[in-house]
A = this chain, B = another copy of it.
Amino acid sequence: MIRKWITTNRMTLTFVLLGLVIFLFIVVPLGKMILASDPAILLDTFLDSEVMRSIWLTLYAALIATAVGCLLGVPLAYLLARANFPGKRLVEGLIDIPIVVPHTAAGIALLFVFGRNFMVGKAFGAIGIQFVDSMAGIVIAMLFVSIPFLIDSAKEGFRKVDVRLEKVARSLGASPWQAFFRISLPLAWRSIVAGNIMMWARGISEFGAVLILAYHPMIAPVLVYERFETYGLDYARPVAVLLIMVCLIVFIALRMLVYQKEK
């Protein structure tokens, strides 16, 4: 009986085994690190004001980046979902570039625009905002590497909204703005929220670009690296665990919120 099942489902079985390898490869390191941690040390780390400050800073900076990204990215996503123009594919390709640009190189590139002695950096410097080793720099770095996630997700969301719903709304007397805010936006809402979550999470995870642009004030991923470099693995580990846990809690809570509304 079982033998018969194995014979007829040999492919499924093979696929399950291969898939299991990669699944365990992802889950085991994270699981082990979290489960094998000493609660006492974790608590100590939790009470370490430097750690907590850096985690808050990370969450906060990523949140600002996400807010800015949402304001500027959602309209762009709507345009890309609805309009057809020559070179549209090129624009879409360019927007996705930050995902594939090496993070440290991205940091260098940003430095050449937002650095004290360059274009935008100078302009902002005149009004007292500087990007190197500052909160603003962290936000800029996070925004750069994470914005494509939001735009792609929102674009997909808008694409799934039947254009004819907007058309019906127009024929019923809605202006383009009304059609957008009453029909398209509410219907694409879930994708936009999911995109925001992804963008926030991706911002929190960034290390390379931030390291170049703003080593200080220290965000959590930088702190993990600093402790690893300075004190070694055992000191870096509780910070990393705490950071991963915060990430997961935020990520899971928000995702559940989105999926709950689905029902």
Residues of chain A at the chain B interface (Cβ within 8 Å): 9-12, 14-16, 18-19, 21-23, 25-30, 32-33, 36, 58, 69, 71-73, 75-76, 78-79, 83, 89, 91, 93-95, 97-106, 108-115, 119, 143-144, 147, 151, 175-177, 180, 198, 201-202, 204-208, 211-212, 220-222, 224-225, 228, 233, 236-237, 240-241, 243-244, 247-248, 251-252, 255, 259
A100 x B237 contact (CB < 8 A): no
8 A–B contacts, CB within 8 A, in A order: A15-B75, A26-B95, A29-B113, A93-B252, A103-B221, A104-B221, A108-B233, A208-B225
B32 x A104 contact (CB < 8 A): no
Chain copies in the assembly? 2
* Set B16, B79, B104, B244: member contacting A101, Cβ < 8 A: B244
A19 x B207 contact (CB < 8 A): no
Known: A102-B243, A247-B100. A14 touches B75 (CB 8 A): yes
Main secondary structure of the interface of A (DSSP, over half): helix
A150 to chain B, nearest CB (A): 10
> How far apart sit A198 and B99, CA to CA, in the bound complex (Å)?
9
With a cutoff of 8 Å between Cβ atoms, the chain B residues found around residue A221 in the complex are 102-105, 208
A90 to chain B, nearest CB (A): 10
B108 x A237 contact (CB < 8 A): yes
